[in-house]
């Protein structure tokens, strides 16, 4: 057997008592590497190898996914985030100026017994603070801030290696507001369209509007109050709210009543009865019929015994003017002499070419000649008598500048052959004007008692001291002695001629 093994053969030798049997062994030579095992070809082996590779790749992918998920969960457990009203902050937070709010810190993964300290950079807006122990951010912003990211870090004082951080982004804006420039009085069947005036919102998109208990014939469409009142109703108040998707909100109250429409050809009795008060809102029916197609009435800015001054707006434009309306005594039509006197004032104001005289652009009679109207430039200022009442006295240099400007206006009036006859603080308006020395402009108004002067033999302008009816013209406390001397002594000569110097 050992010889057979050494020869490279294998086999067996069976012996029996007295017999020896030799069996020929087969060769045990190992097959070469290119030879496939019995019953398996090369294609099968390739398929097995591919399947094994796929299984390996899938297994590795599943392992990595589970590892990452485990890491993410671990990160969340150790995350620092902020909440407002219980909801996590997402994206940009809008914080309104002067509006109190609190952002609460939510730290996950920190021990309750840990001494956590919080810091923030850059510095928070004025009026907003951070509690370094809790991390809460709170307060009322006192200054505007554009969109800014604030980096917040929490550190475990016992183990500085443990820290958490996050960023909060917010913007401090003006407090949101909404207003409707709506008349207090509407008419049955009137086509109402009133758009809101918004302020403080980051933008005017993504805003929704809702109103509480509006009458059924009025509604809010994209913020615009529209509809036609179908019946008269008493004065009532309604609330309209605007909400932006970023959380900004503003509300306002509108108040109006609905009345029957008056005749289209007459001015409202609020004008003819002189019952409109200063600051009261007006309607189109408070205007003369001749002006309704071109102007909208806004508010009363002046009132007298026989007249009213209303601020009006030119339709389709942002131009505002002053409308002066004078009602005839006893509500009877003006006579020819009164009409001439009123038209004289308008003509002077139209012809005058001076920055120190108010300019008129349109005038006429309405309502059967019972009302005289005149459209003038709107002066955004106050009469000097109001300043005097406040005790706000002028310095000497201011008084000189004011006097020089009034003199320039009088020079223009006198060059037109007219004497004003009623120069007083109440008829001089002071407005802001950077082009004038001292930044103030003084303008003469109200030519109601002005009169055309006549030339004497020396070609000097002369005028009378009183009206044709013998009524004193002017204001006694501010007129010159020549104008009152004969009148107060009850002497003849009330029509004595004097010069334009009476305006000085």
Q: Which residues are annotated as a binding site?
A: 324
Report pLDDT for 162: 85
Q: If you count them, how many residues does the chain have? A: 504
Q: What is the dihedral of CA 43, 48, 53, 54, to 10 degrees?
A: 100
- Average pLDDT of the chain, as a whole number: 78
185: pLDDT strictly greater than 90: no
Beta bridge partners of 253: 239
Task: Give the rounded distance of the alpha carbon of 140 from its chain centre.
Answer: 21
Q: Percentage of the chain with pLDDT > 90?
A: 16
Query: What DSSP string runs through 218-255?
Result: EEEETTEEEE---S-EEEEEEEEEEEETTS-EEEEEEE
Q: Percentage of the chain with pLDDT > 70?
A: 77
47: pLDDT strictly greater than 50: yes
**10-24, 448-462, 471-485, range with greatest mean pLDDT:** 471-485
Tokens 């109207």 -> residue: 373
CA distances from 171 to 95, 97, 324 (A): 6, 10, 48
Query: What DSSP string runs through 332-399?
Result: PPPPHHHHHHHHHHHHHHHH---TTB--EEEEEEETTTTEEEEEEEPP-EEEHHHHHHHT-PPPHHHH
Report pLDDT for 184: 76
356: pLDDT strictly greater than 90: yes
19: pLDDT strictly greater than 90: no
71: pLDDT strictly greater than 80: no
The mean per-residue pLDDT over the stretch 225-253 comes to 87
Query: What DSSP string runs through 180-227?
Result: E---SEEETT--EEE-EEEES-S-SSSEEEEEES--TTEEEETTEEEE
Q: How many helices (H) and strands (E) does the chain have?
A: 7, 32
Report pLDDT for 50: 85
The mean per-residue pLDDT over the stretch 246-258 comes to 86
Q: Tell me the C-alpha distance between 105 and 84, whole Å.
A: 9
Tokens 């807006």 -> residue: 125
The mean per-residue pLDDT over the stretch 122-149 comes to 90
Report pLDDT for 205: 81
CB-side neighbour CA atoms (13 Å) of 345: 26
Q: Which residues are annotated as a binding site for ATP?
A: 324
Beta bridge partners of 326: 307, 372
Report pLDDT for 70: 45
Q: Tell me the C-alpha distance between 30 and 72, whole Å.
A: 55
The residue among 87 and 7 whose pLDDT is bigger is 87
Q: Tell me the C-alpha distance between 112 and 42, whole Å.
A: 66
Structure tokens at 463: 């005028």
Model confidence pLDDT, tens digit, residues 87-104? 887 777 888 888 888 999
Report pLDDT for 378: 92
Q: Tell me the C-alpha distance between 345 and 351, whole Å.
A: 10
Structure tokens at 327: 């009602």
Structure tokens at 162: 């443990």
The residue among 456 and 429 whose pLDDT is bigger is 429
The mean per-residue pLDDT over the stretch 362-390 comes to 89
Q: Tell me the C-alpha distance between 121 and 344, whole Å.
A: 71
b/e 434-449 (16+ beta carbons within 10 angstroms → b): eeeeeebbbbbbbbbb
The mean per-residue pLDDT over the stretch 369-393 comes to 89
Task: Give the rounded distance of the alpha carbon of 275 from its chain centre.
Answer: 33
The residue among 173 and 300 whose pLDDT is bigger is 300
Domains of the chain (ranges; CATH) run 80-173 (2.60.40.10), 277-378 (3.30.200.20), 387-503 (1.10.510.10)
| Closest alpha carbon to 209 in 177, 178, 180, 242 | 242
In sequence order, the 6+-apart residues with CB closer than 8 A to the CB of 407 are none
In sequence order, the 6+-apart residues with CB closer than 8 A to the CB of 265 are 289
Three-state SS at 100: coil
Q: Could you tell me if 269 and 285 are in contact, meaning their C-beta atoms sit under 8 angstroms apart?
A: no
In sequence order, the 6+-apart residues with CB closer than 8 A to the CB of 436 are 401, 405
Structure tokens at 332: 């009877």
Q: Tell me the C-alpha distance between 256 and 214, whole Å.
A: 11
At 181, the pLDDT band (50, 70, 90 cuts) reads confident
20: pLDDT strictly greater than 50: no
Structure tokens at 108: 């996950």
Q: Alpha-carbon torsion 377, 311, 402, 326, what sign?
A: positive
The residue among 386 and 464 whose pLDDT is bigger is 386
b/e 54-69 (16+ beta carbons within 10 angstroms → b): eeeeeeeeeeeeeeee
pTM, entire model: 0.45
Q: Tell me the C-alpha distance between 88 and 80, whole Å.
A: 11
- Residue 38 backbone class (left: φ over 0; alpha: ψ -120 to 50; beta: rest): beta
Distance between the two ends of the chain, CA-based, in angstroms? 157
Report pLDDT for 403: 93
The mean per-residue pLDDT over the stretch 50-76 comes to 65
Model confidence pLDDT, tens digit, residues 385-426? 888 899 988 899 999 999 999 999 999 988 888 888 788 898
Report pLDDT for 443: 93
Model confidence pLDDT, tens digit, residues 113-123? 578 899 999 99
Q: Tell me the C-alpha distance between 79 and 68, whole Å.
A: 16
Q: Could you tell me if 327 and 370 are in contact, meaning their C-beta atoms sit under 8 angstroms apart?
A: yes
At 474, the pLDDT band (50, 70, 90 cuts) reads low
The residue among 395 and 32 whose pLDDT is bigger is 395
Q: Could you tell me if 247 and 201 are in contact, meaning their C-beta atoms sit under 8 angstroms apart?
A: no
Model confidence pLDDT, tens digit, residues 263-319? 655 667 677 777 778 888 888 878 888 888 899 999 998 887 667 899 999 988 889
* Cβ count within 10 A of residue 102: 12
């Amino acid at each position: 057997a050992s010889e057979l093994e050494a020869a490279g053969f294998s086999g067996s030798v069976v012996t029996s008592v007295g017999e020896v049997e030799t069996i020929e062994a087969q060769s045990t030579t190992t097959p070469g590497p290119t030879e496939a095992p019995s019953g398996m070809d090369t294609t099968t082996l390739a398929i097995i190898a591919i399947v094994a590779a796929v299984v390996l790749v899938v297994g590795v992918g599943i392992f990595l996914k589970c590892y990452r998920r485990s890491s993410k969960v671990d990160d969340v457990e150790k995350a620092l985030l902020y909440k407002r009203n219980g909801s996590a902050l997402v994206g940009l937070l809008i914080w309104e100026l002067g509006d109190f709010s609190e952002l609460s810190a939510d730290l996950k993964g920190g021990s309750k017994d840990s001494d956590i300290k919080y810091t923030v950079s850059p510095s928070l807006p004025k009026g907003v603070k951070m509690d370094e122990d809790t991390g809460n951010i709170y307060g009322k912003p006192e200054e505007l801030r554009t969109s800014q990211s604030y980096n917040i870090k929490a550190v475990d004082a016992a183990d500085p290696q443990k820290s958490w951080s996050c960023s909060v982004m917010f913007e401090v804006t003006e407090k949101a507001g909404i207003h409707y420039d709506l008349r207090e009085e509407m008419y049955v069947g009137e086509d109402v369209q009133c758009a809101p005036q918004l302020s403080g919102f980051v933008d005017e998109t993504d805003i929704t509007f809702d109103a509480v208990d509006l009458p059924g014939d009025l509604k809010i469409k994209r913020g615009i109050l529209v509809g036609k009142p179908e019946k008269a109703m008493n004065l009532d108040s309604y609330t309209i709210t605007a909400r932006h998707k970023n959380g900004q909100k503003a509300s306002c109250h509108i108040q109006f009543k609905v009345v029957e429409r008056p005749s289209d050809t007459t001015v409202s009795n609020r004008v003819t009865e002189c019952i409109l008060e200063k600051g009261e809102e007006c309607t189109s029916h408070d205007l003369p019929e001749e002006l309704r197609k071109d102007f909208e009435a806004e508010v009363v800015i002046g009132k007298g015994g026989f007249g009213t001054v209303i601020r009006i707006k030119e339709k389709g434009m942002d131009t505002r003017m002053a409308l002066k309306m004078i009602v005839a005594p006893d509500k009877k039509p003006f006579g020819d002499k009164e009409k001439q006197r009123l038209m004289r004032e308008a003509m002077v104001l139209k012809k005058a070419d001076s920055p120190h005289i108010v300019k008129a652009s349109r005038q006429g009679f309405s309502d059967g000649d019972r009302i005289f109207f005149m459209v003038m430039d709107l002066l955004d200022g106050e009469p000097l008598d109001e300043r005097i009442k406040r005790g706000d006295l002028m310095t000497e240099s201011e008084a000189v500048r004011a006097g020089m400007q009034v003199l320039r206006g009088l020079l223009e009036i006198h060059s037109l052959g007219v004497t004003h006859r009623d120069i007083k603080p109440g008829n001089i308006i002071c407005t802001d004007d950077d082009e004038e020395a001292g930044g103030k402009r003084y303008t003469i108004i109200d030519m109601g008692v002005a009169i055309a002067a006549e030339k004497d033999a020396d070609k000097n302008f002369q005028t009378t001291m009183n009206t044709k009816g013998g009524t004193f013209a002017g204001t006694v406390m501010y007129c010159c002695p020549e104008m009152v001397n004969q009148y107060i002594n009850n002497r003849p000569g009330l029509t004595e001629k004097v010069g334009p110097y009476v305006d000085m």
